[in-house]
Structure 1
Amino acid sequence: MDDTTPVAIIGAGPAGLAVAACLRQAGVDFIIIEKEQQAAPAWRRHYERVHLHTTKRYSSLPFAPFPKHYPRYVPRGLFVDYIDAYAQRFDLRPHFGETVEAIAREDHGWRVEATSGPLRARHVVIASGYNAEPLRPGFAGIDTFTGKTLHSADYRNAAPFAGQSVLVVGMGNTGAEIALDLAENGAKPTISVRGGVHIVPRELFGVPIQMVGMAARLGPQRVNDVLFPLILDLVLGRPEKYGLKRPRQGLLQQIAAASRIPVIDVGTIDKIREGAIKVAPDIAEISERGARFADGKHGEFDAIIFATGFRPGYAKFLEPGIQPDRSGVTAQASDLGLYLVGFHNAVTGLLREIAIEAQAIADDIHYRLSRKRATEILPI
């Protein structure tokens, strides 16, 4: 691996490749470091039925719209094909199998310690992924459970669970869709929901919910947070009927304050309404054959799937004391030469934000490198 570069990009997922393509268009050299052996490894590992919840029109990476024959909501396999074609189109060649162990300040740049040796860079772009490390909270009694346990990161399809009673812990988008997959393929799922959850349809009166969210940003947040529940009750029914409560925070307020995206329903609510998916409250304790819930009831299960989320994971290789902002280009990021991309989960869609952030980061890096070169050639 080269020992110096203007820009080191950590991660070859959609975010890292998007920044690289924008830098390529700007004529800026870079090196991409990826710990796996292929680009977009997280997408290759996703459960089989997953589709983009955002439309292809607003989910493509810079300079490369999705092919016209792709459906409105792109499935996992076609998205992986798109990523591979994107890397080839812009001649993006990541250094695969390189794990970043540490990133620290050095002179006016950065020193990136990787498995094959150090790399010095003027700028570092961290694109290692919002879902880099699975989170699996501890539950009392988990060691006594005799059935199968796994994190949603390891779930592929429902085939191994046909005929079984399965507890899905957590109702984010992943938990809701895994429960739906199980219900549609012969399993008997129960979702354990901790606290409240906002649920929206993928399309509202034929309009993609992503576009509704984009329009909603133009209006007052408080007004929209009052109106949305009334409209959603008409479309999906009152969630309280099915054991689901809404959070006290409004839908848009929760996104702004905690980057928590609502569950985008693709059929789970219908299965809950039919009784094919059961809903249970938070887990109080896991037992040898199942779980006891916060309401005192006990259920027996053959397997437990923890859809309990992920964490970014970049903090473990950053120099102590450095706390980068997750929103792309900031004054602090520009001054440090350190950027994050792909960590701002917005109502308008993560991939759309990635495309916007990638171009802004590339523009900022290009400007700073050009200014530095101009300063160096000025006569004394």
Structure 2
Amino acid sequence: MTDVCDGRMLRVAVIGAGQAGLSAAYYLAARGLEPWREFVVVDANEGPGGAWRHRWDSLTLDRAHAIHPLPGAPLETRDPTEPANRVVPRYFGDYERRFALPVLRPVSVTSLTHDESGFTVHTGRGPLAAASIISATGTWDSPYLPHYPGIERFAGRQLHTHDYRSAEEFRGQRVLIVGGGTSAVQAVQELYAHGAEPVWSTRRAPQWTRRAFDAEWGLSVEKSVAARTRQGLAPLSVSAATGLPLNELYAPDITAGLLVSRGPIVRFTERGVVLDGPGPDGAGKPDQGEADALVGATAPLPGRAVDDGWDTPIDTVLWATGFRAHIPHLRGLGTRERSGGVVMADDGVTVVKLPGLFLAGYGASASTLGATRAGRKAAMAALRVTQERAAAAA
């Protein structure tokens, strides 16, 4: 990085080259900032694609959440059966080249420091100085792993969807899938199709909904998530607020008894899990929310009744429990609240406690649609800050 580490001050440094980071870079260039001399994007990945390059091969376009186009480059109609981890990196790479975006990779950011002159981005390849920072690091590198009693005793395999690659390796195993989002229900279906025996566990009734996942719905979800970040609370993932679409992709498997939550985890044993839901015979089910009327007979789970639930043996735990905002590089800046969140302004991108620092893809914008809009907002806000500072110094 010698070309940008020669002591001069960049106007803006963007951290992350996913949807939000590339959107921000596009608008910075479109508003006249000179790539490499006035702004750069640093990315920890080996190549384009952001978090999408790490998704499992079986996550095809027709099974992924909507992938919204980047500004200035429509996403052409693609084969819906092609893996998203190929389509999106190809699209992002073409985008970077088309608009000559100044992306440095692989560059891992370890921390940020700040003084009256601006920010220093500390990386594995040296420091980088900038008057303003757009942090667009998303959530992929911070998978959330909840704790349950007895988990330290469990002798089987555990993995998060962050590390999930193929259902084939679980053939013949009984796999506990933990989580209430679409990644959990899709894992149940995929594991079953590949000869595994999935057992689905949720903390509460699955949040099935018949509501159309349209623009109006998306805005209402973003508003509910943004309300937390304005208070400095740790953001819930957008996916946690969306619910599960009760549509033709899932309804048949609900009726067949496959996509039926067996209730919350009580505790783990050395070789299994105790669930509060199957009842005294192992065939029961707790409330399934909107899907309750669709559920047919459920097969009994192997195992035995114990004082606090139903003990069923399992081989593997797949934690489909989502992700948290990946912002460890903000430690030391004094922006984090005790709750773990960052107080955000009404625009959703401005960090209230530290002028010049902007978060895109954080909280309400942790979705492809929200990330694109947040990238634009952050770019415009960063430009205003650097212009104001330049005017004050003149």
Rounded Cα–Cα distance in structure 1 between residues aligned with 2:224 and 2:391 = 45
Q: 2:252 aligns with which of 243, 267, 270?
A: 270
Q: How does 1:102-121 map to 2 (within 5 A)?
A: 102-121=111-130
User: Aligned with 1:194: secondary structure?
Assistant: coil
Rounded Cα–Cα distance in structure 2 between residues aligned with 1:135 and 1:369 = 36
User: Aligned with 2:119: secondary structure?
Assistant: strand
Q: 1:21 aligns with which of 17, 26, 31?
A: 26
Q: What's 1:337 paired with?
A: 356
After the TM superposition, list the runs of 4 or more consecutive aligned residues in structure 1 that deviate by more than 6 angstroms: none
**1:109-158 residue CA offsets vs partner (Å, 9 max, x unmatched):** 11211122221110001111123211222333223333322111111121
TM-score by length of 1: 0.78
Q: What's 1:294 paired with?
A: 276
1:69–1:192 CA distance, 2 compared to 1 (3 A): closer
Q: CA deviation at 1:338?
A: 0.4
Matched-pair contact (CA < 8 Å) for 1:125–1:341: yes
1:100–1:53 CA distance, 2 compared to 1 (3 A): same
Q: Which 5+ residue runs of structure 1 have no aligned equivalent? A: 222-250
Q: CA deviation at 1:279?
A: 2.0
User: Aligned with 1:160: secondary structure?
Assistant: helix
Q: What's 1:363 paired with?
A: 380
1:330–1:253 CA distance, 2 compared to 1 (3 A): closer
1:173–1:55 CA distance, 2 compared to 1 (3 A): closer
CA RMSD of aligned residues (A): 3.0
Q: How does 1:218-367 map to 2 (within 5 A)?
A: 258=236, 259=238, 260-264=241-245, 267-295=249-277, 296-323=309-336, 324-325=342-343, 328-330=348-350, 332=352, 336-345=355-364, 350-367=367-384
Q: Which 5+ residue runs of structure 2 have no aligned equivalent? A: 229-235, 278-308, 337-341
**1:37-78 residue CA offsets vs partner (Å, 9 max, x unmatched):** 12334211112233365545xx11111111145659994422
Rounded Cα–Cα distance in structure 1 between residues aligned with 2:117 and 2:355 = 8
Matched-pair contact (CA < 8 Å) for 2:57–2:83: no
Q: CA deviation at 1:168?
A: 0.3
**1:339-361 residue CA offsets vs partner (Å, 9 max, x unmatched):** 00012336xx8211112111122
User: Aligned with 1:113: secondary structure?
Assistant: strand
TM-score by length of 2: 0.75
Q: How many residues align?
A: 334
**1:61-96 residue CA offsets vs partner (Å, 9 max, x unmatched):** 111111145659994422222111111111224222
Q: CA deviation at 1:106?
A: 1.5
Rounded Cα–Cα distance in structure 2 between residues aligned with 1:303 and 1:182 = 12
**1:179-217 residue CA offsets vs partner (Å, 9 max, x unmatched):** 12112322221111002442235xx6xxx6123515x85
Rounded Cα–Cα distance in structure 2 between residues aligned with 1:22 and 1:102 = 25
1:85–1:152 CA distance, 2 compared to 1 (3 A): same
**Counterpart amino acid of 2:377?**
A
Q: Which has the higher helix share?
A: 1
User: Aligned with 2:255: secondary structure?
Assistant: helix
Matched-pair contact (CA < 8 Å) for 2:107–2:125: yes
Q: What's 1:246 paired with?
A: none
User: Aligned with 1:345: secondary structure?
Assistant: helix
Rounded Cα–Cα distance in structure 2 between residues aligned with 1:46 and 1:298 = 32
Rounded Cα–Cα distance in structure 1 between residues aligned with 2:19 and 2:351 = 24
